[in-house]
Amino acid sequence: MNRIEQRFKELKDQDRKAFIPYIMGGDGGLNNLTERLLTLEKFGATLIEVGVPFSDPVADGPTIQQAGIRALQNGTTLRGIIAELTKAREVVSIPIVLMTYLNPVYSYGISAFAQDIANAGVAGCIIPDLPIEEEELLAAILEDAGIELIRLVTLTSPKDRIKEISNRGKGFLYTVTVKGITGTRNEFDQEVVDFLKRVKDISPIPVVAGFGISNVKQINELTPHCDGVIVGSKIVDLFHNNDLAGLESFMSVLKPEKTPLK
């Protein structure tokens, strides 16, 4: 069983929901990556999504784009992130999922990428600009290396496509809750709730909602209809402002002494 599958099994046994924070690798300096991973683990993250800065981040909103620019200005590269994750695996116990675009992977070399991130202890990979029609480029290579390819569905995905995509995965299904890029939203409408219900009915694997989620109210609105949430821009902002107290408070809903999200 993949480490991601194991984590979701543990949550199901505990009647809890997943909280997956996103951080941009190299934002604040690569030398701080391990410390940030440990902080998120301490505050209750289920697993952590680590972004790779890219010059043309088509799925990223302003906050994460700015984080990527800061990381690139710090000299961050995919190879550098993998090297730091290799060090981090000695002290970070929860699964790491790497989020990158296809171009850096292709430039790195697909087979070398798969082997190197496996050696770094990475459990999964998200490539938002890789459609299922093009998966043959690397899906089998990642699988052979023990890396789970995390696939995405969106509000515009028809039922048959949701079924096809969800049946290919084993980790979780990244369910995009906005029509557009990442970034905080004030509220979600009934369309999003209906969408999550529809995906949950179809998917044989855990359904995790992402994009636009930035407060506990939204989390409590969405989690009855899915298996957890991914939070990016809010986490990036809290780290950028060095607001660790705010980060801990935001994630405290996941503490064992708190009532589990339902």
Name the active-site residue from 5, 27, 60, 237.
60
Name the active-site residue from 5, 27, 49, 84.
49
The pTM assigned to this predicted structure is 0.92
Domain ranges of the chain: 3-254
Nearest in space to 8 (alpha carbons), one of 222, 126, 170, 224: 170
Nearest in space to 209 (alpha carbons), one of 124, 95, 199: 199
Give catalytic status of residue 49 as yes or no. Answer: yes
By the 8 A CB rule, do 69 and 55 touch?
no
In which element (H, E) is residue 99 found? Answer: strand 96-99
Radius of gyration of the chain (CA): 17
> Could you write out the DSSP letters of every residue in 179-216?
SS--S--S---HHHHHHHHHHHHH-SS-EEEESS--SH
The CATH code that applies to domain 3-254 is 3.20.20.70
**Separation between Cα atoms, residue 15 and residue 7, nearest integer Å:** 12
Predicted confidence pLDDT, tens digits, the chain (262 residues)? 789 999 999 999 999 999 999 999 999 999 999 999 999 999 999 999 999 998 876 667 788 999 999 999 999 999 999 999 999 999 999 999 999 999 999 999 999 999 999 999 999 999 999 999 999 989 999 999 999 999 999 999 999 999 999 999 889 999 998 765 444 445 567 889 999 999 999 999 999 999 888 888 889 899 999 999 999 999 999 999 999 999 999 998 645 444 343 3
Give catalytic status of residue 129 as yes or no. Answer: no
